[in-house]
Structure 1
Amino acid sequence: MSIYASRPWLARYRSGTPSDITPEHDSLLAAFEASVQRNPTAPAIRYFDGTLTYEELDRRSRALAAGLVARGFAPGDRLALYLQNNPAFVVGLLAAWRAGGSAVMVNPMNKHRELTYLLQDSGASALLCLDELYEAVAADVLAKEETAVRTVVTCSALDDQGRNDPRLFPEPIRRRLDGPVDLVALVEEHAGADPGRPLPKADELAMLTYTSGTTGNPKGAMSSHGNVAFNAQTYRDWIGLGADDVILGVAPLFHITGLIGHIGAALLVGCPLVLAHRFEPNVVMDAIREHRPTFTVGSITVFISLSGVEGSTREDWASFRAVYSGGAPIAPAVTEQFEAKTGLYIHNIYGLTETNSPSHAVPLGSRAPVDPTSGALSVGVPTFNTVVRILAEDGSEAPVGEVGELATSGPQVVAGYWNRPEATAESLPGGELRTGDVGFMDEQGWFYIVDRKKDMINAAGYKVWPREVEDVLYGHPAVKEVAVVGVPDPYRGETVKAYVSVKPGASVTEAELIEFAKAQMAAYKYPRSIEFLDELPKTVTGKILRRELRERAKEGSG
Structure 2
Amino acid sequence: MNGTNIRARLAADPELGAGNVLPKLFEHGADPEGPGATFDVPVDGHPAWQELTLGRLRERVAARAAWWHARGIGPRDPVAVHVSASADCLLNFLALTWLGAIPALVNPHIPGDIAAEYIRRLRGVGLVTDQEHRERLAGQDLGIAVHADAAEAGTGDPAQAPAAYRHHPDDPIAITHSSGTTRMPAAVVHSNGSLFAATRLFRLSAPRARGAERILSALPAAHAAGISALNMALCFRSDLLFLSTQNDGDAVVRAIERWKPTGVFGFAATWTQLARQDLSTRDLDSVSLWFNTGDCAHEPHIRRLVAVGSRETATREGVRRTPGSRFVDGLGSTEMGHSAFHITHSKDTERYGRCVGVPHGFAEVALLDTATGREVPVGEVGQLGLKAPTLAPGYWNDSSATYRNRLGGYYLTGDLMYRDEEGYYFHVDRAVDAVDLGGEWLYTAMTEERILAGCPDVHDCTVVSMEVGGRVVTDVLLALYATADPGADRTAAVRAALTGAAAATLRSVVVVSEADLIVGPTGKVRKFLMRQRHRAQTAAV
Is the structural similarity TM-score above 0.5?
yes
Tell me, yes or no, if the aligned pair for 2:77 and 2:124 is still in contact at 8 Å.
yes
What is the match of residue 266 of structure 1?
A: 233
Contact in 2 for aligned 1:242/1:271 (Cα 8 Å): no
Please give the alpha-carbon distance, in whole angstroms, between the structure 2 residues aligned to 1:22 and 1:363: 29
Taking the aligned partners of 1:290 and 1:196, their CA distance within structure 2 comes to: 38
Alignment of 1:321-400 (within 5 A): 321-342=288-309, 343-362=324-343, 370=351, 376-393=353-370, 394-400=372-378
Instruction: Indicate how the Cα distance of structure 1 residues 241 and 134 shifts in structure 2: closer, same or farther if over 3 A, else same.
Output: farther
How many residues are aligned here?
433
Cα distance in structure 2, aligned partners of 1:133 and 1:384: 41
Aligned to 2:419: 441
One-letter amino acid of the counterpart of residue 26, structure 1: L
| Match of residue 252 from structure 1 | 220
| Aligned with residue 40 of structure 1, among 23, 28, 32 | 32
Matches of 1:23 and 1:85 in 2, distance apart? 32
Aligned partners of 1:412 and 1:523: how far apart in 2? 23
Shift of 1:249: 1.2
The separation in 1 between residues aligned to 2:220 and 2:181, in whole angstroms, is 23
1:86 aligns with 2:92: no
Deviations 1:139-159 (A, max 9, x none): x1xx4333224232223xxxx
Rounded Cα–Cα distance in structure 1 between residues aligned with 2:73 and 2:265? 34
Shift of 1:229: 1.5
Distance 2:201 2:260 in 1: 23
Shift of the alpha carbon at 1:304? 4.0
- Cα offsets for 1:319-358 (capped at 9, x unmatched): 2232122333433233223333442232212111111131
- Contact preservation (8 Å) 1:300, 1:328: yes
What's the TM-score, normalizing by structure 1?
0.68
Partner secondary structure for residue 152 of structure 1: strand
> Is structure 2 residue 165 aligned with structure 1 residue 198?
yes
- Taking structure 2 as the reference length, the TM-score comes to 0.70
**Corresponding position of 1:290:** 258
Q: Does 1:427 align with 2:405?
A: yes
What is the aligned partner in structure 1 of residue 431 from structure 2?
453
Q: Which runs of 5+ in 1 are unaligned?
A: 1-20, 156-181, 461-484, 493-510, 537-557
Contact 1:416–1:428 (Cα < 8 Å) also in 2 = no
* Separation (CA, whole Å) in 1 of partners of 2:254 and 2:124: 37
Describe the shift of the 1:270–1:86 C-alpha distance in structure 2 as closer, same or farther (beyond 3 A). Answer: same
- 1:26 aligned to 2:16? yes
Higher RCO structure, 1 or 2 (CA under 8 Å, sep 6+): 1
Alignment-mate amino acid for residue 443 of structure 1: E
Deviations 1:366-411 (A, max 9, x none): 987647xxxx231121113211101124210111222100101111
Q: CA deviation at 1:416?
A: 1.3
Q: State whether residues 235 and 241 of structure 1, in contact with CA within 8 Å, keep that contact through their aligned partners in structure 2.
A: no
In 1: Cα distance, 2:18 partner to 2:475 partner = 36
Contact 1:408/1:434 (8 A) holds in 2: yes
Distance 1:104 1:345 in 2: 34
CA RMSD of the aligned region, Å? 3.8
Does the 8 Å CA contact 2:104/2:176 hold for their aligned counterparts?
yes
Contact 1:409 1:433 in 2 (8 A): yes
Matched residues, percent identical? 22
Q: How far apart are 1:269 and its partner, in Å?
A: 1.7
> 1:144 and 2:140 equivalent?
yes
Tell me how far 1:439 sits from its aligned partner: 0.5
Determine the C-alpha separation between the residues in 2 that align with 1:146 and 1:244.
Answer: 41
Alignment check: 8 A CA contact 1:347 1:368 kept:
no
Provide the secondary structure at the position in 1 that maps to 2:418.
strand
Deviates more, 1:393-402 or 1:208-217: 208-217
Q: Distance in 2 between matches of 1:239 and 1:297?
A: 19
1: CA distance, partners of 2:120 / 2:535: 34
**Structure 1, residues 399-443: CA drift from partner, whole Å, max 9, x if none?**
122210010111101121112222211113465210110001222
